[in-house]
């Protein structure tokens, strides 16, 4: 039953006190902002400013009235501190999914996360359309090993629905004591029923950069995240590959949720010439409008490059891919990226808490907006999705016979009584080298072949780079012979 009653004198006194405090709190920063900015206020602006201040005052007065009524009249006693903190959470929640208020303990966790070592599941999450969504699992972590994928929607953590959770609350629930399990329920496109996944929490040690060599001369670098040490780790990887005499490079930023802006700029700088624009930002205030360019403090590499991206490539990953694509430095291969192109500024507050506030948008060198749009690959290739729930019975799947399996790997020289070729009769230097290959080298080659067999995007990238020299040589020969060609290498070598 509802009832209407006048304010008691005690509540009115408390109201006046709250209103006065709130007015003082808002007046002081406004005064100093105007004073420090040396703003020349015209008569018309004076009227508008006064009107706006009056409107703010009226709204704060209403807020103060509600706060006092809850404190004095709500059926149960509620802490003023808790009410104000929840009000702040509600305030920032009304903005965008990446703006958030971080209480002191959450702020400390965030500092640990960007240092490259933290506890949890190993996934980067965000709010998309008010739903907790996986940006990407970090390779080698418990979530990745459990089969969690980019764009999975987490609808429950244990038995609690995530629909009314804030992003920070969800992150806190996903983290916990190392070795303890947590059960999440996810919705995945293509599955008819939700998928329940049990994951054991662990210390997440992110090795941000790893390296390999394919086909003897194609370097491969995987950047898993943009942490404090990423650029220095990249320098070490490039030095290693240089000693291996590579001539082309695959840069893999798939399932890389991003990280530190300065590291994205430093990574891009390694692959671009001097005085190139890498990325710029635009916000409401002048200090948020920034431009980041290359410099000559580091050694630049000029290998022909392919960058691998997918829906789990976000933020800093998109800055790198967008810059190298715009400047014609690399071919982008894979699927469209996540589309997280906004700048968050961490503003520490007086009580040890912090405000993570969206203050600007990222733009690629050509002016392309990353936010929501993402980076569109030059070559679109889907990787086969790892099946989590089989929707067909084993009987329905036609399996190849043993003979068919074996035939896939047979060649002429493997057939009984096959006719010998000239090199087989006389022997060749290649055969001698092959026989001298160590077991360790054979194991490494086998692992590299397995990588290519299970990863369609990587396989296409290596195949394209392997044929690079052939196409360059062919096109140059055709040009020298004045033959018409159907492919301009200038366009191909973007």
- Give the residue numbers marked as catalytic: 315, 326, 340
Q: Smallest Cα–Cα separation from 103: which of 349, 313, 434, 329?
A: 349
CA distance 36 to 33: 5
224 to 139, 313, 392, 448, 458: CA distances (angstroms) = 7, 10, 34, 19, 15
Strand partners, 360: 283, 343
- Concatenated DSSP letters for 19-33? HHHHHHHHHHHHHHH
Q: Measured at the alpha carbon of residue 121, what is the angle toward residues 119 and 122, in degrees to the nearest 5?
A: 90
**Torsion, CA 196, CA 313, CA 145, CA 379, rounded to 10:** 100
- Concatenated DSSP letters for 395-440? GGS-PPPHHHHHHTT--GGGSTTPPPPHHHHH--HHHHHHHT--HH
Note whether 258 and 221 are within 8 A (CB): no
Note whether 244 and 176 are within 8 A (CB): no
* Residue 251, token pair as written in the block: 């840069």
Task: Report H helices in 38-122.
Answer: 43-73, 80-93, 104-113
């Amino acid at each position: 039953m509802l009832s209407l009653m006048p304010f008691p004198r005690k509540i009115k006194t408390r109201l006046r006190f709250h209103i006065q405090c709130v007015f003082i709190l808002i007046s002081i920063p406004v005064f100093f902002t105007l004073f420090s900015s040396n703003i020349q206020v015209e008569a018309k602006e004076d009227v508008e400013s006064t009107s706006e201040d009056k409107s703010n005052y009226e709204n704060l007065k209403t807020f103060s009235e509600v706060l006092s009524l809850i404190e004095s009249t709500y059926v149960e006693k509620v802490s003023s501190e808790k009410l104000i903190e929840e009000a702040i959470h509600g305030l920032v929640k009304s903005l965008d999914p990446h703006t958030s208020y971080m209480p002191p303990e959450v702020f400390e966790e965030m500092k640990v996360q960007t240092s490259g070592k933290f506890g949890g599941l190993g996934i980067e999450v965000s709010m998309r359309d008010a739903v907790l969504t996986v940006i990407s699992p970090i390779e080698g972590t418990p979530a990745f090993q459990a089969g969690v994928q980019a764009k999975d929607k987490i609808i429950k953590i244990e038995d609690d629905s995530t629909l009314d959770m804030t992003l920070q609350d969800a992150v806190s629930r996903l983290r916990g004591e190392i070795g303890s399990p947590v059960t999440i329920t996810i919705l995945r496109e293509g599955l008819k029923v939700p998928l329940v996944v049990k994951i054991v929490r662990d210390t997440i040690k992110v090795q941000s950069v790893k390296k390999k060599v394919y086909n003897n001369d194609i370097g491969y670098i995987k950047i898993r995240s943009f942490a404090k040490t990423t650029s220095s780790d990249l320098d070490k990887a490039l030095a290693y590959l240089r000693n291996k005499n590579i001539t082309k490079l695959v840069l893999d930023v798939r399932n890389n949720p991003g990280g530190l802006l300065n590291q994205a700029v430093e990574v891009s700088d390694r692959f671009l010439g001097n005085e190139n624009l890498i990325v710029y930002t635009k916000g409401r205030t002048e200090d948020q409008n920034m431009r980041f360019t290359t410099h000559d403090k580091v050694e630049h590499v000029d290998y022909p490059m392919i960058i691998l991206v997918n829906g789990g490539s976000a933020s800093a990953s998109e800055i790198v891919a967008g810059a190298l694509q715009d400047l014609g430095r690399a071919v982008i291969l894979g699927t469209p990226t996540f589309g997280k192109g906004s700048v968050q500024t961490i503003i520490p507050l007086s009580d040890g808490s912090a405000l993570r506030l969206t203050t600007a948008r990222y733009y690629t060198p050509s002016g392309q907006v990353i936010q929501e749009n993402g980076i569109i690959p030059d070559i679109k290739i889907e990787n086969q999705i790892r099946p989590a729930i089989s929707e067909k019975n084993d009987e329905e799947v036609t399996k190849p016979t043993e003979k068919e399996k074996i035939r896939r790997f047979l060649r002429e020289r493997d057939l009984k009584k096959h006719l010998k070729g000239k090199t087989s009769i006389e022997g060749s230097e290649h055969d001698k080298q092959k026989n001298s290959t160590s077991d360790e080298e054979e194991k490494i080659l086998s692992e590299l072949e397995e990588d290519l067999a299970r990863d369609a995007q990587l396989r296409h990238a290596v195949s394209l780079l392997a044929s690079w020299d052939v196409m360059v040589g062919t096109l140059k020969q055709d040009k020298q012979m004045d033959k018409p060609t159907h492919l301009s290498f200038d366009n191909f070598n973007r």
